[in-house]
Structure 1
Amino acid sequence: MLTKNFLQVGDKAPCFSAVAVYEQEFRRINLSDYLGKYVILLFYPLDFTFVCPTEIIAFSEMYDQINSLGAEILGISVDSEYCHLAWMQLDRQSGGVGDLKYPLVSDLNKQISLSYNVLNHEGKSLRGLFIIDKEGIIQHSLVNNLDFGRSVNETLRTLQAIKHVQNNPDEVCPANWQPGNATIKSNPIQSKDYFQSI
């Protein structure tokens, strides 16, 4: 019998409670409070680095589109809440992130990164991205190494696809699907309609 000892898509997202910084204040974040919404967990290595602010800012700039789909974003790194606050108070031209539209969570004890299997051997979070659905189930995961960032547009597209198939359980989304594009009926006979149209 096969045994599984790692987190994967389809599993219940590990719960956590941690201090975060949002709107220049410290707040306790409980993942369980987000049940009923989609959640994007955005793990990143460290504050005050090079690629990280580009991602953190890009997701903040796309926040309204993501939030309009019933989703929230939580940024997570192994920095303290004080470090997060200092990074937010530093302007973007100087390497800070300024005001953000979503919280940055402190994972100083590294337990969240460990539970999501994104903690590397140096004790930093890899660039892990998880989309959790309204029931608390992981629907998507992506992990990049430290030196290159993720695509916010692809994250948005993936969220849209997840929402579509969950709202239309007899359909699946083909490669490069965008909202408004044709889907495939998950039926051997009806699926031919899609393949005959391409």
Structure 2
Amino acid sequence: MSLVGKEVLPFKAQAYQKGEFLEVTEENFKGNWSVVVFYPADFTFVCPTELEDLQNEYQNLKDLGVEVYSVSTDTHFTHKAWHDNSETIGKIEYIMIGDPSHTLSRNFDVLIEEDGLADRGTFIIDPDGVVQGVEINAGNMGRDASALVSKIKAAQYVRNNPGEVCPAKWKEGSKTLKPSLDLVGKI
């Protein structure tokens, strides 16, 4: 069952960000755009490349009014240890949520039950706390954060321009479509 169009379910989790521990709930996803990025585990191989790529796009996302939350089934303590011991992860400025109870992984339907790990899931959440985009990859396939930035721009555009839609490969400033009877069969 798709989570698109559904509100984020209630949760409470501990997180790590810039030398501090903090609590995060579904309320953090309201009032601004959010991206929640699940990954299998700390101290692994593909995960740090993805998280670094996401950090490289973090300022672009912040400029779009987006807060980033990474999530694994590790604890917030493990996130801190990884942050303190990895040059790559040490660059991360966004929030790293621990999900050892698997509550978030289950809420977002990315938990691999037999492994106790999360699939690589990316969720775009609007300011109402409603999921607007989902991408889920197998554990051996890393994601591209620049593609995520493009998707968020499209999601923000259609939210701010009711009645318009963004076609494939839409880029900011490009032409959009206005679905109508006149377009049926002409695209």
**Residues 1:141 and 2:134 are matched in the alignment:** yes
Partner of 1:67: 62
- Is the 1:76–1:106 contact (alpha carbons within 8 Å) kept by the matching residues of 2? yes
Q: Distance in 1 between matches of 2:130 and 2:36?
A: 12
Q: Distance in 2 between matches of 1:55 and 1:21?
A: 18
Shift of 1:7: 4.5
Match of 1:164 among 152, 157, 162: 157
Q: Distance in 2 between matches of 1:37 and 1:103?
A: 15
Partner of 1:3: none
Q: Distance in 2 between matches of 1:81 and 1:91?
A: 15
Q: Distance in 2 between matches of 1:155 and 1:128?
A: 12
Match of 1:108 among 85, 88, 100: 100
* Structure 1 spans left out of the alignment, 5+ residues: 1-5
TM-score by length of 1: 0.89
For the pair shown, the structure with the greater C-alpha radius of gyration is: 1
Residue by residue over 1:23-82, the C-alpha shift from the partner in whole angstroms, topping out at 9 and shown as x without a partner, is 111111122133111110000000000000011111111111011111100000000111
Partner of 2:46: 51
Q: Which has the higher contact order (CA 8 A, sep 6+)?
A: 2
1:1-198 → structure 2 map (5 Å cutoff): 6-92=1-87, 96-120=88-112, 121-189=114-182, 191=183, 195=187
Alignment length, in residue pairs? 185
Q: Secondary structure at the match of 1:184?
A: coil
Q: Distance in 2 between matches of 1:155 and 1:58?
A: 11
